[in-house]
């Protein structure tokens, strides 16, 4: 009897690249990463390979070249229409220490004419407050497809769409967290995608040292991006500390450091009450931390659109004060 070994699965090479021991393993090249992600998105990978690939990549940590290759594969398959967007604003982390003040910064900016696309994944960690849970309270339109996104942007300069609506296979990878026991690299990859090619992509990467990797990936892609270590992992400037901006535009690195806005740290609230967020938006309640967080986050966005820091803060105050038609 002739025993013939079955042929190796085409995706096995990528698992081997990442997992071939301390001396044999290496980063994937940009081309390899693009091919690997393409196979994942096209459903040409076994579930066992998917889990192994994601966890090996998580253990190694993604390189800028790998992030760029992954992003290219995803963008090539989006089939997204041409929709004008000023700011791409990913929100995937959820908040647990402070309210999501960045959502009020987004609302004030959109009320002043800035077109903002927000995208996020489904709530996946207990004890965190996710943007999706506040859409109705804050009257942020939820869109199920690109057509609805375009209509919402034309009407309100603002649209939220879930990752699962335009990249369901990526959402499935994120959903594997409870099965694998760890977040997959897709959580951070989703922040760099900028699916509609906005003028600037804002990104929040929480883990120290990894902000520069994302900035370099955006540079390789030719994108204009600003990466920060946002409060709680969201794109929100923490006014109590120094904010490092890792930026890239026209292929050049543009890193900056913004000083803390508060002389001493604010006391963390005992709980997160979304109604306080709404009352603050309406001018019915005051919050010193919230005000600084909103204004500095608005300034960050305006800086991404071309304004220098001091001018951006002045413009942020002007737009915040004018957020209501009656103001």
CATH number for the domain that contains residue 253: 3.40.1030.10
199 within domain boundaries: yes
265: pLDDT confidence band, cut at 50, 70 and 90?
confident
Print the SS3 string covering 190-259. Answer: HHHCCCCCCCEEEEECCCCCCHHHHHHHHHHHCCCEEEECCHHHCCCCCCCCCEEEEEEECCEECCEEEC
Looking at residue 296, its pLDDT comes to 98
pLDDT at 77 over 70: yes
202 within domain boundaries: yes
1 within domain boundaries: no
Domain C-terminal end among 78, 98, 131: 78
Over the stretch 167-218, which tens digit does the pLDDT of each residue have? 999 999 998 888 888 788 898 999 999 999 999 999 999 888 899 999 999 9
Looking at residue 72, its pLDDT comes to 98
258 within domain boundaries: yes
Average pLDDT of the segment spanning 130-147: 95
6 within domain boundaries: no
Do residue 168 and residue 288 come from a single domain? Answer: yes
Q: CA–CA separation, 184 vs 179, rounded Å?
A: 11
Round the average pLDDT of the chain to a whole number and report it. 93
Do residue 219 and residue 312 come from a single domain? Answer: yes
Average pLDDT of the segment spanning 148-167: 97
pLDDT at 231 over 80: yes
The percentage of residues in the chain with a pLDDT greater than 90, rounded to a whole number, is 80
Greatest Cα pair distance, the chain, in angstroms, is 87
Domain C-terminal end among 53, 78, 103: 78
7 within domain boundaries: no
241 within domain boundaries: yes
Do residue 163 and residue 267 come from a single domain? Answer: yes
Do residue 18 and residue 152 come from a single domain? Answer: no
Output the CA torsion 173→65→80→188 (10° steps): 40
191 within domain boundaries: yes
Q: Are strands 158-162 and 252-253 parallel, antiparallel or unpaired?
A: unpaired
Do residue 206 and residue 312 come from a single domain? Answer: yes
- Segment 216-219 long-range contacts (CB within 8 Å, at least 24 positions apart): 216/64, 216/248, 217/64, 217/65, 217/67, 217/68, 217/71, 217/192, 218/192, 218/248, 219/64, 219/248, 219/251, 219/252, 219/253
pLDDT at 7 over 80: yes
327: pLDDT confidence band, cut at 50, 70 and 90?
very low
Q: CA–CA separation, 124 vs 274, rounded Å?
A: 19
Domain C-terminal end among 78, 105, 123: 78
Domain range for residue 303? 87-321
Q: CA–CA separation, 76 vs 44, rounded Å?
A: 17
Do residue 16 and residue 155 come from a single domain? Answer: no
Q: CA–CA separation, 185 vs 175, rounded Å?
A: 12
Average pLDDT of the segment spanning 19-46: 94
Task: Count how many residues are written for the chain.
Answer: 327
Do residue 110 and residue 216 come from a single domain? Answer: yes
Residue recorded with tokens 């790998």: 66
Sign of the alpha-carbon torsion through 202, 206, 208, 213: negative
Looking at residue 262, its pLDDT comes to 84
> What's this model's pTM, rounded to 2 decimal places?
0.94
CATH number for the domain that contains residue 29: 1.20.970.10
Do residue 17 and residue 140 come from a single domain? Answer: no
Over the stretch 80-129, which tens digit does the pLDDT of each residue have? 999 999 999 999 998 988 999 999 999 999 999 999 999 998 766 677 89
Average pLDDT of the segment spanning 154-175: 95
Do residue 24 and residue 110 come from a single domain? Answer: no
Number of domains forming the structure of the chain = 2
Q: Residue 228: phi, psi to the nearest 5?
A: -130, 165
pLDDT at 272 over 90: no
Looking at residue 286, its pLDDT comes to 94
Do residue 224 and residue 259 come from a single domain? Answer: yes
Looking at residue 178, its pLDDT comes to 81
Do residue 45 and residue 117 come from a single domain? Answer: no
Do residue 160 and residue 240 come from a single domain? Answer: yes
């Amino acid at each position: 009897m002739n025993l013939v070994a079955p042929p190796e699965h085409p995706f096995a090479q990528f698992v081997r690249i990442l997992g071939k021991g301390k001396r044999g393993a290496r980063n994937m090249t940009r081309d390899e990463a693009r091919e690997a992600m393409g196979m994942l998105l096209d459903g040409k990978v076994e579930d066992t390979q998917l889990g192994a690939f994601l966890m090996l990549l998580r253990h190694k940590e993604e390189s800028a070249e790998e992030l760029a290759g992954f992003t290219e594969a995803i963008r090539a398959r989006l089939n997204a229409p041409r929709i004008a967007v000023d700011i791409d604003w990913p929100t995937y982390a959820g908040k647990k220490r402070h309210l999501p003040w960045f959502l009020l910064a987004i609302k004030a900016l959109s009320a002043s004419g800035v077109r903002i696309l927000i995208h996020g994944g489904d709530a996946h960690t207990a004890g965190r407050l996710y943007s999706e849970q506040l859409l109705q309270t804050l009257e942020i339109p939820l869109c199920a497809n690109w057509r609805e996104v375009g209509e919402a942007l034309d009407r309100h300069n603002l649209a939220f769409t879930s990752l699962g609506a335009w990249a369901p296979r990526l959402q499935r990878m994120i959903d594997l967290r409870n099965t694998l026991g760890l977040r997959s690299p897709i959580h951070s990859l989703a922040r760099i995608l900028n699916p509609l090619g906005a003028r600037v992509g804002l990104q929040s990467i929480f883990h120290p040292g990894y902000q520069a990797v994302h900035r370099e990936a955006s540079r390789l892609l030719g994108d204009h991006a600003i990466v920060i270590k946002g409060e709680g992992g969201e794109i929100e400037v923490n006014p109590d500390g120094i904010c490092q901006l890792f930026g890239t535009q026209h292929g050049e690195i543009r890193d900056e450091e913004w000083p803390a806005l508060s002389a001493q740290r604010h006391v963390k609230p005992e709980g997160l009450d979304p109604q306080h967020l709404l009352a603050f938006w309406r001018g019915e309640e005051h919050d010193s931390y919230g005000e600084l967080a909103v204004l500095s986050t608005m300034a960050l966005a305006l800086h991404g659109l071309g304004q220098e820091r001091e001018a951006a803060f002045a413009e942020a105050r002007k737009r915040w004060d004018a957020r209501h038609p009656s103001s």
